[in-house]
Amino acid sequence: MDMAMKYFLPHISKLEAYTPGEQINAPGVIKLNTNENPYPPSPQVVKALARLGPDRLRKYPQPYADDFRVAAAEVFGLDADMILPGNGGDELLRMIAMSFIAPGQAAAAPYPTYTLYEVLVQVQNAAMTWVDWPEDYSLPLDELAAVKAPLTFLANPNAPTGTVVECDMVAKLARRLEPFGVLVVDEAYFDFAGGATCLPLVREHPNVIILRTLSKGYCMAGLRFGYAVACRELIAGLRKVKDSYNCDAISIALATAAIKDQKYRQWAVDQVVAERDRMSAELTGRGWNVLPSRSNFILVRPPDGEAKRRYEALKRRNILVRYFGSRRLSDKLRITIGTPAENSALLAAIDRM
C-alpha cells in the first residue's frame, strides 16, 4: 500500500479522511449515533418509489433535478433558479469548497462543528482557521470576520452542540464578510429548530448560501439528497463544478414526493422534538449536563465526565451513541433522538450502569 501512496499529491497522501459514524445495521442494535430520523419516509415517497418504472433507469436523469426545484420553489416561495440540488448536503459542501477556496488559502468556521468542513478544505490544499465558540455558543462575530476568509462555514443549528444563532446575528456576519467572502449557513438540522432559518438572507446578501438536506427532517439519509439556496449568480457559478447528473433519477423522484408532503415532515419532526425535550429532562434529572438543543440530537456530559467509558458500555449493550474525543468534546456524548422505545431503552441502560 505504501508503495502506491507516492502517486498521490502530497496534501492528499497526508490527509486524514473524514470518519463517519458507525453504520451497524444488525438486528437489535439501537442506532443513536448518526442523527438519522427514527421514522420511515412519507407514505407519498413509498408510493412514488412503487410507481418508478425501469425506463427511469434506462434514461439519464434531469441534469438540474428540475422536478424537485419546481416543487421546492413552490413550497418555499423561491425562484427555481435559486435552488441547486445535490447528492446529499455533503456533495454541495464539496462543490462549495471547490468553488471558493484555492490552495494555500484559509477557510473559517467556529469550533467545534461538523468535522467534514475541514476535510473538504484540506482536499483543496487549503487550511481551516478555527474560531472557538464561546461557552454560551453565541456567534463569535468579530473573530470570524477578522479571519477575512474567502469561505466561512456556519452550521446552524450547530453540530454537535444543537445550538442556534439567530438570523439577525448571521445577517451581521454576512454583511461583514461581503467584501471578500462567501458565508455558508448549513441548515441540515433546520427542521428541528422551531422555524429558525436564515433563508430570507439569500435575497439581501449576494454572498450567502443556505444548505438543506432531506436526510434528517424528511427521514431519508439513505437517499442522498440535499439542496443549496442562494442568489441566481452563485447558483449559476456552482453549477459549473457539478457532475453532469449529480442526482439520480430515483432520488429526484422521491425527493420531489417528500418535499411536497410538508404535513408528514412536520409530524415526524414533532415526534422527535417532543422526545428530545423528554430526554433532555430525563438526563438532567439524573445529574447529566445537557446543552439545550434545537436539533435532533443532544450533547450531554455524564456526571463523572467519563464519556468514553459510557460510550463503550452502551455499545456492549447494543446501543450506539457518538463519542468524538476531541478538544472540548472528550467528556461528552452526542445522542441522536430515537423513537420513544429506543430512548427509554437508552435511559434504562444508563440506569443499570
Would you state the cell numbers that stand for residue 28, as one nine-digit string? 437489535
Assess 188 for contact with ligand PLP (CB under 6 A).
Answer: yes
Listed as own residue / partner, the contacts of 21-26 with beta carbons closer than 8 Å and 24 or more positions apart are 21/320, 21/322, 22/320, 24/320
To ligand PLP, the closest distance from the beta carbon of 281 in angstroms equals 24
> Can you read off the three cell numbers belonging to residue 62?
434531469
Least distance from ligand PLP to the Cβ atom of residue 18, Å: 11
Does the footprint of ligand PLP cover residue 264 (CB under 6 A)? no
Residue type, 12: I
One of 161, 213, 251, 293 touching ligand PLP (CB under 6 A): 213
Whole-angstrom Cα Rg for the chain: 20
Provide the phi-psi class of 242: left if phi over 0, else alpha when psi is between -120 and 50, else beta: beta
Q: Decide if residue 159 touches ligand PLP (CB under 6 A).
A: yes
Cβ proximity of 41 and 218 under 8 Å: yes
Nearer to ligand PLP, 159 or 165 (CB): 159
- CA geometry: angle 223, 225, 229, nearest 5 deg: 170
251 binds ligand PLP (CB under 6 A): no
Total of residues contacting ligand PLP (CB under 6 A): 13
320 binding ligand PLP? (CB under 6 A): no
- Give 70-116 as a DSSP string: HHHHHHHT--GGGEEEESSHHHHHHHHHHHH--TT-EEEEEES--TH
Grid cell in block for residue 322: 457518538
By the rule CB under 6 A, 118 interacts with ligand PLP:
no
User: Least Å distance between CB 233 and ligand PLP?
Assistant: 23
Site string for ligand PLP, 75-114 (x = CB under 6 A): -------------xxx-----------------------x
Nearest distance in Å: CB 65, ligand PLP: 14
**To the nearest whole angstrom, how small is the minimum distance from the Cβ of residue 156 to ligand PLP?**
9
Burial of 56 (0-12, 13-18, 19+ CB in 10 A): middle
| 215 part of the interface to ligand PLP, by CB under 6 A | yes
Using CB under 6 A, which of 120, 185, 186, 275 touches ligand PLP?
A: 186
Judged by beta carbon, residue 11 or residue 292, the one nearer ligand PLP is 292
User: Counting contacts by CB under 6 A, is residue 35 touching ligand PLP?
Assistant: yes
Calpha distance 295→337 (Å, rounded): 9
Residue placing its CB nearer to ligand PLP in the complex, 94 or 176: 94
151 binds ligand PLP (CB under 6 A): no
Among 45, 126, 149, 155, binds ligand PLP (CB under 6 A): 155
Is residue 226 involved in binding ligand PLP (CB under 6 A)?
Answer: yes
Query: How far is the CA of 29 from the CAs of 202, 288, 321, 352, in angstroms?
Result: 41, 24, 11, 18
Judged by CB under 6 A, does residue 323 bind ligand PLP?
no
Question: Hey, which residues between 37 and 56 contact ligand PLP (CB under 6 A)?
Answer: none
Helix axes 249-260, 262-285, angle to 10 degrees: 80
User: Which residues of this chain interact with ligand PLP, rule CB under 6 A?
Assistant: 35, 88-90, 114, 155, 159, 186, 188, 213, 215, 221, 226
